[in-house]
Amino acid sequence: MSRERTESGQYAETVTIDRVRQVFSSVDGPAVTTADIAAELDVTAEAARRKLNELHSQGMLGKRKTAGRNIYWLQAESEVNEINPDDPVWGTDPIAGDETVDEADIDDVLYGEINE
């Protein structure tokens, strides 16, 4: 199987959270295994395992070992921790201004005045 690359030459991500969520709705039961993800998304078991463990470490999936296999389930929305500490946004300097904006005027500041 040939893998797609991005413009920068890196391998393109093929196992996204949206694709993993689709697998949860297509299999019987509330949990999936690495084999379920690999078969449904046509990826290697290793790629499926890496993505499931990544999503688990981000708090998006629950995980438990049973009968020698890991099973994964979707966490409730309130339990999801979507903050990625490696995101470049955390390395930028905050923007500060002297002027405060009233909440009612924020859309005009962000998007310009709307002409009716």
Residue 42 three-state SS: coil
Contact 63, 74 (CB under 8 A): no
| Closest C-alpha to 27, from 73, 58, 61, 68 | 73
Enter the pTM of the model.
0.57
73/64 Cα distance (integer angstroms): 9
Mean pLDDT per block of 10 residues along the chain (116 residues) reads 66 76 88 94 90 90 92 77 70 70 77 61
pLDDT at residue 46 in the model = 92
Contacts of 77 (CB under 8 A, 6+ apart): none
Q: What are the tokens at 80?
A: 């999801």
pLDDT at residue 35 in the model = 94
Instruction: Name the CATH topology of 17-111.
Output: Arc Repressor Mutant, subunit A (1.10.10)
For the chain, the domains span 17-111
Residue with tokens 């009612």, as numbered in its chain:
104
pLDDT at residue 110 in the model = 72
